[in-house]
Amino acid sequence: MRVLNFYSAVFADQLRRGRKTATIRLGDKSHKYRKNDCVLVTIGYQYSPREKIFHAVIDSVEVKRMRDLSPRDIEHDNPEFRRVEDLMSFLQQIYDRPVDLDDVVTVVRFSQIVEPSSPIRDRIHGVGGAQN
């Protein structure tokens, strides 16, 4: 199983709340992530313990130039950003190198896989075959 790891704990809350549904990675990562792959979403640094956030399915993988990112692409990666310049500045910090409008990025969209609810919970909430 592949891992989709995030380094900043800032993203943990956004991921858990469903506010972060994509990641924009510098370079062409289409060989690493493919549509319909199941991935484990984690938070942590290399060579350190990582926290499991959830399992997810990859919905789409798009390779494009930084200049071609839509505001929606950017917002799904980071709900606080709307502009390419904001994302470029952020990626420069993450990758510790200059980033410009001609750089290739990969937009990986994903959806959390939720566990089925329990029959007891369903009865409490009036779901399923519970009798009235």
Find the DSSP H helices in 23-70: none
Residue 118 or residue 62, greater confidence: 62
% of the chain surpassing 70 pLDDT? 89
CATH class of domain segment(s) 2-124? alpha beta
For the cut 70, the answer to whether the pLDDT of residue 63 exceeds it is: yes
CB 15 within 8 A of CB 78: no
Q: Would you state the pLDDT for residue 102?
A: 97
Q: Which of 93, 87, 10 is nearest to 53 (CA)?
A: 10
The CA distance from 25 to 6, in Å, is 11
